[in-house]
Amino acid sequence: SRSPKRKSKSGRRSRSPRGRRSRSPHHAAVKVKQERDDHCRRGNEERKQRYPSEQEHRRDRSGDRDRHREHSDRRKNPNERPGVRGHERERDVQNIREQQAEREFYNERRREHRQNNESSGVDQNPELRQSDNKPKEKAAVNKEKPSFELSGALLEDTNTFRGVVIKYSEPPEARIPKKRWRLYPFKNDEFLPVMYIHRQSAYLLGRHRRIADIPIDHPSCSKQHAVFQYRLVEYTRADGTVGRRVRPYIIDLGSGNGTFLNNQRIEPQRYYELKEKDVLKFGFSSREYVLLHESSDKSEANTKDDDDDDEKEEESDS
């Protein structure tokens, strides 16, 4: 059993350290907090005594930074004077002020110029102002050259035969002849069937058998190689009067290997008048086509009959 607590003679409890312990469980935590607050308070008081104001403290810190920067710059540039950096700052400030003044001067001039334009009525024409503001377009360096070759686009709707666009269209003076012209083909002195070419006003010669009136099967010939065309042209009679007659012509349609009249190559897209006993060749083909008509045997003896035939053609065509 525990012994009863001793009491003093005056009736009070003993003042031993064991008896003086606080019964509150938070006494130690409160004491630590108070000590911490006291420490912070003392630190603030010491800081206030050392730096009277916060602004002075910041000023001192900025001064320390400037001194440190100047010291580092002096170490980098030992030949530079201590006050050069301050002069540079002043010069920069002065340059900025000059730039601002110059900008204001030009703005004022621009404003005056705009007012003058408004007063003179330039702004009343917006198209002129837009044309002035638009930059000039640069000319193309590689300008495409024009092409004058026949494309067939204009004849696509009106000159299509069996689904193929014909490169050639007959001229207004095209006529069907009264004289019965014929082509006599020869191949290495071999006689071939005669071709009667008086029933139409034009005959297309080429390798394209679907549209060619006179097919040419040689690979050196084009699909649409040349055209045998009859035209009504004017001529001068012996008495000086002017008449008209139908004459045969040949025209090359821009073939690759050309058309030859009496062993001479003709220019493409140009009419060449044909005469009796003329010889035609196409490409590299060995075939030769001799032009004759029904009265070729007696034409040299009696030329008056030919003139009469021309007059009859003129009366029928006019």
Residue 226, SS3 per DSSP: strand
Tens-level pLDDT at each residue, the chain (318 residues)? 455 555 545 555 555 555 555 555 556 677 777 888 888 888 777 776 765 566 666 677 777 777 777 777 666 665 555 555 667 788 888 889 888 888 888 888 888 888 888 877 644 555 555 555 555 555 555 677 776 665 555 555 567 767 777 788 889 999 999 999 999 999 887 888 899 999 999 999 999 888 888 999 899 999 899 999 999 999 888 898 999 999 999 999 988 899 999 999 999 999 999 999 999 999 999 899 999 988 876 444 344 444 445 545 554 444
Q: Does domain 177-293 have CATH number 2.60.200.20?
A: yes
In this prediction, residue 233 carries a pLDDT of: 92
Q: What is the pLDDT of residues 84-97, one digit of tens each?
A: 566 778 888 888 98
- Residue 271 has φ and ψ, to the nearest 5°, of -80, 135
How high is the mean pLDDT of the chain?
76
**pLDDT tens-digit readout, 164-185:** 777 888 899 999 999 999 999 9
CB distance 206 to 223 below 8 Å: yes
Q: How far apart are CA 192 and CA 187, in angstroms?
A: 7
For 46-60, what is each residue's pLDDT tens digit? 776 765 566 666 677
DSSP state of 300: T
Residue 302 is predicted with a pLDDT of: 42
Q: Which pairing describes strands 279-282 and 287-293: parallel, antiparallel, or unpaired?
A: antiparallel
Kind plus residue range of the DSSP H or E element containing 104: helix 84-120
Sequence letter at residue 19:
G
Nearest CA among 183, 193, 277 for reference residue 226: 183
Strands (E), 188-241: 190-191, 195-196, 202-206, 214-215, 226-236
Owner of token pair 């000039």:
136
208-233 pLDDT tens trace: 888 888 999 899 999 899 999 999 99
d(CA 216, CA 208): 8
